[in-house]
Structure 1
Amino acid sequence: MTKPADTHTARRSLTGRRAIVTGGTTGIGRAIAVLLAAEGAKVFICGHEEAALTEALADIREVGTGDGMAIDLAGPGAVERFVAAGEAALDGIDIAVMNAAVAAEGLTDMDAAAIERAIAVDFTAYLMGAKAVSERLVPVGDLVLIGSMSAHVLGPGSTIYAGIKAGIAGFAAALRRELGPKGIRVSLVEPGKTGSDMQSPDLPPDEQRAMIRDETMLRAEDIAVGVHYLLTQPSRTVVQQLVIVPRAQEGE
């Protein structure tokens, strides 16, 4: 006879787990950090603006425990300094979410300096951050890479961002095989169009809210719930890729 306990897989608790989140002061990263804190995790976040950091930490501390630092991840060695600071503040790391990103346009629409900055924040910081946490994550640890559906929805104005996010997708797939046997789960989360500061100025906040009501845009919290799902699965499993898009999203 099937017991009720056998009808659902065991869920890993987030209570007491230690999580670092890059880009945790705004948008998707902030939503993830707040939800993890509300579920009992201790979080350490970063962002490049002090004011946004202060606001995010206030939200986190309303529901749980957290700290953070303001840092520009485009700088040499910056992501390694953030990881080391997070490890010291939390006394270890169980979860790492690489999420920080800056917007990018088409190749011919950006100057060389802007392209180099986008690569530094959106790609290099992911790889170097993964390198830093791979040496620190406690088995069974979790590394979550926030990618984008832009890797697959290709347009003439998306060459830089799409190229970077496609690179992240390939990196995540290979890294899962490299780190899995070492007790580290690697997951890629690819959101569709999501309300955030990155949508501005093309989509002002009021237009974003209208699109969310029309269900053609996601809330950042929708992505956070997806991250919560993959982090709470049994240690024998890994959610390799999670794609979350608006049900009624219009064509790009």
Structure 2
Amino acid sequence: MSDLAEPPAIPLSDAHTKRPSLSGRKALISGGTTGIGRAIAVLLAAEGVDVFVCGRDPQHLDDGLARIRDVGKGDGISLDLAEPDAVDRFVRAAKDYFGDFDIAIINAAIPAKGLTAMTAEELRYAVAVDFTAYLTTAYAAADIMKDHGDIIFIGSVASHLLGAESSVYAGMKAGIAGFAEAVRKELGPKGIKVCNVEPAKTGADFQYATYTAEEQAEENRKETMLRAEDIAVAVHFALTQPRRAVVQQISIAPRARGEE
């Protein structure tokens, strides 16, 4: 038996701050059946969050829920957020499932091109999904949360690049960035934190019109395209800060792609 004394404990109170646990929280996640939304739902479910998701495709919903339930708890509904009553139906179904929720991940979006490359019908549909549904989901979430919760928007670095080839999409994401900043100031004093997460190009079915699954796999291999799981980790970071602190914005780009 050694006569050596045990080394003194190292005080770490000023080196670490206590982070809140996510276990037991309840999250509403729009577009939570594929891509970024699904990755977020799976990660949060694995951390003990009960999640409720929506997606347009019933098959994607079933597949997403199967994975969520592999690691935790969750349910969802299939609907199209472009429909005028869809957000109300989504929120009502979530409340029927788990009551009030204290996390809202507002993520569901579709691609949109330049203004002159779209029909008027395509333009209206994109605005309904990518902008109107963002604001109305935030409105419903704030009404339910009242004085405690987290709202996280999944925006895009397109709001800063403002490319001509996707002027409609970039314009809407710039609008979301502005709204997120303003509503953070409105809701913060009431106890609700607001964060805008802005990914660069991320592999998902969202990108299939421009990048096939094989092309995305190759860009993932070269680390010139993000994975959906990278965005989920950023959301987790925002949600696990002390309540006194709010991460206002997170911008994420592939390390090996210098121009973003």
The answer for the alignment partner of 1:159 in structure 2 is 167
User: Is residue 2:11 matched to residue 1:3?
Assistant: yes
- How many pairs does the alignment contain? 252
Q: 1:238 aligns with which of 216, 239, 246?
A: 246
- Local SS of the residue matching 1:177: helix
User: Is residue 2:129 matched to residue 1:121?
Assistant: yes
Distance 1:138 1:115 in 2: 33
Q: CA deviation at 1:2?
A: 7.3
User: Is residue 2:118 matched to residue 1:92?
Assistant: no
- Local SS of the residue matching 1:16: coil
Unpaired segments of 5 or more residues in structure 1?
Answer: none
Q: CA deviation at 1:86?
A: 1.0
CA offsets 1:146-176 (integer angstroms, 9 cap, x no match): 0000111122211100000000000000000
- Local SS of the residue matching 2:103: strand
Distance 1:239 1:80 in 2: 28
- Structure label with greater radius of gyration: 2
CA offsets 1:102-156 (integer angstroms, 9 cap, x no match): 1100101100000000000000000011111111016430000000001111222
Distance 1:8 1:137 in 2: 29
C-alpha RMSD of matched pairs (Å): 1.3
Distance 2:152 2:95 in 1: 17
Distance 2:35 2:214 in 1: 15
CA contact (8 A) 1:94 1:138 kept: no
User: Is residue 2:215 matched to residue 1:207?
Assistant: yes
CA contact (8 A) 1:92 1:138 kept: no
Distance 1:165 1:177 in 2: 19
Q: TM-score, normalised by structure 1?
A: 0.97
User: Is residue 2:189 matched to residue 1:184?
Assistant: no
Percent of counterpart pairs with the same letter?
56
Distance 1:111 1:216 in 2: 32
Unpaired segments of 5 or more residues in structure 2?
Answer: 1-8
Q: TM-score, normalised by structure 2?
A: 0.94
- The 5-angstrom pairing of residues 101-120 of structure 1 reads 101-120=109-128
The answer for the alignment partner of 1:29 in structure 2 is 37
Q: CA deviation at 1:250?
A: 5.0
CA offsets 1:35-91 (integer angstroms, 9 cap, x no match): 000000000000011000000000000000000000100001211221121122112
After TM superposition, which residue ranges in structure 1, 4 or more long, deviate above 3 angstroms?
A: none
Letter in 1 for 2:48: G
CA offsets 1:158-198 (integer angstroms, 9 cap, x no match): 11000000000000000001001111001000001100111
The answer for the alignment partner of 2:50 in structure 1 is 42
Distance 2:20 2:247 in 1: 14
